[in-house]
């Protein structure tokens, strides 16, 4: 896996060779983590849309190859945070932040680094599946095409690998050249996951990936998420408490732009320290 961001000018960082290698020290799901130890590290992060502050002093460590769920009522800032991990919010005018987000020890806001190389490392799956109006094949290799890869054999391998990883290969292998828009909703979402995987990212962000799907399709995606964490660091935003409980290793509860509680999923769901967390999880508000 390519761990280097493409720098605009300076020598590339090799985060894995860092003296304070975060991965080596990454604790198990039950242990708390120190600052900078997570694969994704959010440090005193504030974020504003115009004059409206939506994130307040967030600090959290997201460990590698685990699933971290972000939960909270609508408008609590969890999606905003997620979209900052791959700087998707850059598309919006008048945004501002303070504090830092680091991936494998390197800040994502490094002005010397192309944002596209960050996005190749941090893939994203959206709430509404958004396959391109192209063939299934072209959808999967879109990320490779924009990176300039043209070798047909490599692309073929990438398509199969991506579709297998997204558990879509058996359903799609005979119709690779048909339009992706002919797939069902659940299949489309898995295609979007395959598309994200094909770029070989390190982190996969999922923004309520099942909210538009029926329970069967949701079940498949959840199974997939558990598979994915063997290879990828997954961050998932969800409104579905059961989903967070089933899939994630760690859960962060957000409320009104603040990180209220962040701990192992087991702790959050069985023994939350904060009253607000408990109220939300048990359905008393939100």
Partner 1 sequence: MNASHQNRPLKPARVTGEAQVWLTAMGLSIGLIMVVGLLAIILINGIEVFWPKRIVELTMKDGDKTISIAGEIVIERDKPIKTDETVEREIQLFTGNKDVYGQGFRFIDEKDVVSRSQPAGVLKVERMEYGNAIGMPVSLKLKGGEVIPATDPRFNHRLQELIDEVTDRRNEILYLEQSVIGANARRMTDLGYQRKSAESSNDQAAIAEIDAEVATLQADFEILRTKALELRARQKDHQLVLKLFTGEERTLIMGDLVKVTWSNELSLIGRVGLTFSHLWSFMVEKPREANTEGGIWPAIFGTFVMTILMSIAVTPFGVVAAIYLREYAKQGPIVRIVRIAVNNLAGVPSIVFGVFGLGFFVYIMGGTIDSLFFSDKGATPTFGTGGILWASLTLALMTVPVVIVATEESVAAVPRGAKEGSLALGASKWQTIQRVVLPAAIPGILTGLILAMARGAGEVAPLMLVGVVKLAPSLPIDGIYPFFHLDQKFMHLGFHIYDLGFQSPDSEAAKPMVFATTFFLILLVMALNLGAIVLRDRIRRRFATSAF
| 128, 149, 173, 275: which one binds partner 1 (CB under 8 A) | 128
Q: Which stretch binds partner 1 (CB under 8 A): 10-18, 21-29, 193-201, 236-244?
A: 193-201
Residues 104-123 that bind partner 1 (CB under 8 A): 116-117, 119-120, 123
| Order of all β-strands in the sheet with 40-49 | 106-107, 95-103, 40-49, 52-62, 258-264, 250-255, 67-71, 233-237, 203-207, 122-125
Q: Which stretch binds partner 1 (CB under 8 A): 7-15, 42-50, 59-67, 194-202?
A: 194-202
CB of 199 to partner 1, least distance (A): 6
CB of 236 to partner 1, least distance (A): 15
Nearer to partner 1, 129 or 248 (CB): 129
Residue partners of 214: CB distance under 8 A and separation at least 6: 185, 186
Residue 181 near partner 1 by CB under 8 A = yes
Residue 131 near partner 1 by CB under 8 A = yes
Rounded Cα distance, 152 and 129, in Å: 26
How is residue 7 annotated by DSSP? B
Residue 68 phi, psi dihedral angles, 5° rounding: -115, 125
Residue 31 near partner 1 by CB under 8 A = no
Nearer to partner 1, 210 or 259 (CB): 210
Rounded Cα distance, 121 and 5, in Å: 8
Burial (Cβ within 10 Å: 0-12, 13-18, ≥19) of residue 285? exposed
Residue 199 near partner 1 by CB under 8 A = yes
Q: Which tokens go with 62?
A: 């997201």
Residues 137-166 that bind partner 1 (CB under 8 A): 142-143, 145-147
| 70, 176, 188, 237: which one binds partner 1 (CB under 8 A) | 188
Residues 49-108 that bind partner 1 (CB under 8 A): 86, 88, 91, 93
Nearer to partner 1, 56 or 142 (CB): 142
Nearer to partner 1, 91 or 216 (CB): 91
CB of 107 to partner 1, least distance (A): 18
CB of 227 to partner 1, least distance (A): 21
- Half-sphere exposure of residue 155: CA atoms within 13 angstroms, side-chain side: 18
Rounded Cα distance, 272 and 279, in Å: 10
Strands 67-71, 250-255: parallel, antiparallel or unpaired by DSSP?
parallel
> Considering just the CA atoms, what is the radius of gyration of the chain in Å?
19
Nearer to partner 1, 116 or 151 (CB): 116
Rounded Cα distance, 172 and 153, in Å: 18
Rounded Cα distance, 280 and 246, in Å: 17
Residues near partner 1 (CB under 8 A), total: 31
Query: Which residues lie near partner 1 (CB under 8 A)?
Result: 86, 88, 91, 93, 116-117, 119-120, 123-124, 126, 128-133, 142-143, 145-147, 179, 181-182, 185, 188, 192, 195-196, 199
């Amino acid at each position: 896996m390519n761990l280097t961001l493409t720098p605009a000018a300076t020598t590339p960082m090799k985060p894995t060779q860092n003296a304070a290698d975060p991965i080596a020290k990454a604790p198990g799901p039950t242990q708390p983590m120190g600052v900078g130890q997570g694969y994704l590290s959010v440090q005193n992060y504030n974020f504003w849309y115009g004059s409206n502050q939506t994130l307040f002093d967030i600090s959290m460590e997201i460990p590698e190859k685990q699933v971290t769920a972000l939960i909270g009522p609508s408008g609590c800032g969890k999606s905003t945070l997620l979209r900052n991990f791959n700087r998707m919010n850059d598309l919006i005018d008048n945004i501002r932040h303070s504090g830092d987000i680091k991936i494998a020890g390197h800040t994502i806001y490094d002005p010397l680094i192309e944002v596209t190389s960050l996005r190749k490392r941090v893939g994203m799956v959206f709430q509404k599946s958004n396959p391109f109006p192209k063939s299934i094949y072209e959808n999967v290799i879109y990320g490779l095409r924009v990176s300039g890869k043209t070798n047909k054999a490599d692309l073929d391998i990438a398509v199969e690998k991506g579709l297998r990883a997204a558990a879509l290969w058996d359903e799609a292998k005979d119709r690779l050249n048909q339009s992706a828009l002919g797939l069902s909703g659940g299949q489309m979402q898995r295609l979007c996951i395959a598309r994200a995987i094909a770029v070989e990212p390190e982190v996969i962000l999922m923004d309520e990936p099942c909210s538009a799907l029926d329970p069967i399709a949701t079940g498949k995606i959840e199974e997939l998420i558990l598979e994915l964490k063997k290879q990828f660091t997954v961050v998932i935003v969800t409104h579905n408490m059961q989903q967070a409980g089933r899939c994630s290793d760690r859960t962060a509860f957000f409320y009104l732009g603040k990180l209220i509680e962040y701990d192992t999923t087991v702790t959050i769901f069985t023994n939350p320290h904060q009253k607000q967390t408990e109220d939300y999880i048990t359905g008393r508000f939100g």
